[in-house]
Structure 1
Amino acid sequence: MLFGVFLTLGVGVLSIGLRSFQNSYLQKAGALGILVATYLAVYFISGSWIWGLAAAVGWLFLPWLEILTRIRALRLPKEKQLRPKSPPSSDTFPALSDITREIEDEGFVHVGDAGWDWEDYRQFFRLFYREEDRAQAAICLNEQHDFSFYYLRISSRARDGTAWTTWNYPLSYGLKLTPLFRINRQRADRSFWQLYQSHREFLRRNGVDPAQIDPLDEERIESEMEKDLRDQIAHNIHKGVLKQTATGDVKYSWRGMIYLWCQFLVDLVRL
């Protein structure tokens, strides 16, 4: 009995330690270790490997608690109109100034702040542009209730409408991207310099000629972002991920909720 207790505790502590590292491989190993620790705990308590396996697999269905509560009740506007927006306070987003300086150090110019609010859901975008290679960059802050996160995005928009985008979005992305988006996803712990170097390599790897990149000004950057948001909503309605409500808003369909869960599983196993 003591052997089982110490083995389970050892695997659990090791797994939590691995999850604290910034290396994605170690984090995934930690996630796997938590499943193993759960299996061992239930197995040693019940004496049944079937119950142990069921408990471990149960972790994979944990996202349904949020999907069936918060996500199912979520409503979003069909049209998202960006407006000039004041930056969040240093208490809300303490890293904003440091990230801004980091982006400007790479030759990007701060062209404006924008965002939109909807009920208790808020988005803030700090927009940048680099004339030399016509690259857009953005600091994106998402807030809902008492939960918030940010990510960085670099985009190069070709004249044919293709948006070559590098980002470090930290969560499972909840909507399908339109066919014009080409995504180079990086880890959430990557610095902007690392993202920018990865983006340049991403363009080279796909044979994107700088002459194909459409030059943009501040007004066009915001208008193109609004168009991207509208097109994405329309695309997800067409794919059945979202559906329109009687009031004109949109919400997740059952197909969309299953899609969210599948995205969680994909992220869980992605190395």
Structure 2
Amino acid sequence: MISDLLLVAGVGVASVALRSFQHPFFVRLGTLGILVTSFLAGWLLGGSVAMGVVLALSWLFLPWLEILTRIRRMRLPADRVIESRRPPTRSEFPNLSEVSQEIEDCGFEYIDDLGWDHDSAKNYYRVFEHSEKRLQAAICLSEQEELAFFYITVTARTSDGRTLSTWNYPFSYGLKLEPRTKVQRFLAPGPFGSILASQERFLEREGCGKDDRILIPHDELIPTLQGDMRGQIAHNVDAGLLQRVEDNRVRYTPRGMFFLWFQFLRDLLRIS
């Protein structure tokens, strides 16, 4: 019994360690290891192969607990009102000054602190731009009930209407992107210089040179961001993932719930 317990614990620890690597191969190997750990726990410790299979498969269907309870009832505003706001306090966002300095050290200039709220969710953005490279960067803090996390985006907009971004958003995104928007996911938390370098390689692959890029005038920043959000909501309504309801809000459709589940599986396997 002790040897079985040590085997299960050893496979579990090795699996978690593999998922901490940034290479997709090791991440997927770690994911497989977690499923194997669950199977071994049911088989060796629970004494049943069937229990092992159920425990392993439970990882794949676990998101439905949240989808069918919280997300099914969730109503999102179709229009987000973005406005200038004070930055979070140090206790609310301890890393803000440090990350801001890191971005400014790469040649970006601070533009504004923005945010928008709905129900219990709060979203804060600190926006920067690099006038020479014609790039925009943002530090984004998302607070949802008891969950809070931040991520960084680096974005290029083109004169023909494309938006090309690199971000280190920690989850697979819960909405479909518009056709003229492409997002590259950076799998590490930083540093910012690496995110910026990844964005520049991404732009090179997309054939987007500096002369193709435009910067948003500062007085048009808020209307542009609000327009981006409205466009994305409309695109997901048209795609059947969202449905408009009362009070100018939207909710996930059954098709949208399956999309969220597939996004979870994508995140589990770190396909990005």
TM-score norm. by structure 2 comes to 0.93
Give the counterpart letter for 1:186 in structure 2: F
SS of the equivalent of 1:261 reads: helix
Equivalent position of 1:265 in the other structure = 265
Q: Which residue of 1 aligns with 2:225?
A: 225
**Could you say what secondary structure the match of 2:261 adopts?**
helix
Separation of aligned partners in 2, 1:130 and 1:42: 54
In the alignment, is residue 114 of structure 1 matched against residue 114 of structure 2? yes
Aligned residue for 1:208, secondary structure, equals coil
User: Could you tell me how far 1:46 is from its partner in structure 2?
Assistant: 4.8
| Structure 2 CA distance for aligned equivalents of residues 120 and 63 of structure 1 | 21
> Do the aligned residues in 1 keep the contact of 2:22 with 2:188 (CA within 8 Å)?
no
Map of 1:206-221 to 2, 5 A cutoff?
206-221=206-221
Counterpart secondary structure, 1:128: strand
Percent identity over the alignment is 42
Instruction: Flag the 1:15–1:166 CA change in 2: closer, same or farther, 3 A.
Output: same
* Residue aligning to 1:149: 149
Which stretch of the first structure deviates more once superposed, 97-106 or 5-14? 5-14
Q: Which runs of 5+ in 1 are unaligned?
A: none
For the aligned residue pairs, the C-alpha RMSD in angstroms reads 1.7
Query: Structure 2: any 5+ residue segments left out of the alignment?
Result: none
Q: How many residues align?
A: 270
Q: Which residue of 1 aligns with 2:201?
A: 201
Residue matched to 1:23:
22
Aligned residue for 1:105? 105
Residue 158 of structure 2: aligned partner:
158
TM-score by length of structure 1 reads 0.93
Identify the range of structure 1 (34-43 vs 23-32) with the bigger mean alpha-carbon deviation: 23-32
Report the 3-state secondary structure (helix = DSSP H, G, I; strand = E; otherwise coil) of the residue aligned with 1:6.
helix
Map of 2:134 onto structure 1? 134
Please identify, of 37-46 and 169-178, the stretch whose mean Cα deviation from structure 2 is larger. Answer: 37-46
1:90 and 2:103 aligned: no
Query: Does structure 2 retain, via aligned residues, the 8 Å contact 1:151–1:188?
Result: no
CA contact (8 A) 2:128 2:136 kept: yes
C-alpha distance in 2 between matches for 1:201 and 1:15: 31
Shift of 1:252: 1.1
2:72 paired residue number: 72
Is 2:27–2:269's contact at 8 Å kept on the other side of the alignment?
Answer: no
1:156 is paired with a residue whose SS is strand
Letter in 2 for 1:89: T
